[in-house]
Amino acid sequence: MTTYYSEDHEWITVEGDTATLGITAHAAEQLGDVVFIEQKEAEDDFEKGDEIGVIESVKAASEIIAPLDGVVVSVNEELADEPDKLNADPEGAAWIYKIKISNPEQLNELMNADAYKALVE
C-alpha cells in the first residue's frame, strides 16, 4: 500500500485501482476545529482539480480538490454527524472518500511522504 500527497494537503492511499482519500494532519491543524463537511455522493465522478467537497471550521472553509480523476465508491458517512473526527484522526479513521482511480498515471504527479514533509516545513 502506497501513500501519496497533494499540494492541496490531501493524502491518498492506493490499493489496486481503489484509493482512500483524506486530508493531512497539517491541513486539519491549519483548519482548526472542523464543524461541518460537505461531501459528494457515491458514484459521482470527477476530474483532477475539481472541487469534491468543502470542510468548514471555526476559522475558515476549505475546498477539497480532487488530486486525480476518479469516481466516488463510498463516502465516510460518520463525518456528517461527527466532523470533528477530521481533527482527531485525519490520516486514519476520518478518511473522506474511497475512490476508483480513472487515470493511474496521475499518481506520478503527487508527492511521497518526504516531499510532502518538505513542503509543509
For residue 15, what are the β-bridge partners?
A: 18
Give the domain range for residue 94: 2-105
Mean of pLDDT values over 42-46: 96
Residue 110 falls inside a structural domain: no
Domain membership of residue 27 (yes or no) is yes
Cell output for 48: 483532477
Domain count of the chain?
Answer: 1
Distances (CA, A) of 57 to 10, 35, 37, 83, 113: 16, 5, 9, 9, 25
**What stretch of H or E contains 40?**
none
Strand order across the beta sheet in which 51-57 lies:
34-39, 51-57, 61-65
Q: Identify the CATH number of the domain in which residue 61 sits.
A: 2.40.50.100
| Amino acid code (one letter) for 120 | V
Q: Is residue 119 part of a domain?
A: no
Mean pLDDT computed over 93-106: 96
pLDDT digits (tens, 9 = 90+) for 17-38: 899 999 999 999 999 999 999 9
Is residue 86 in some structural domain? yes
Quickly state the pLDDT bin for 1 (edges 50, 70, 90). Answer: confident
pLDDT, position 79: 97
Residue 114 within any structural domain of the chain: no
pLDDT bucket at 4, cuts 50 / 70 / 90: very high
Instruction: Record the cell numbers describing residue 40, joined without a space.
Output: 459528494
In a domain, 117, yes or no: no
Report if residue 38 sits inside a domain.
Answer: yes
**What are the grid coordinates assigned to 80, written together?**
456528517
In a domain, 92, yes or no: yes
Measured CA to CA, the distance from residue 74 to residue 65 in angstroms comes to: 17
> Mapping DSSP to helix (H, G, I), strand (E, B) and coil, where does residue 63 land?
strand
- The tens digit of pLDDT for each residue in 53-96 reads 999 999 989 999 999 999 999 999 999 999 999 999 999 999 99
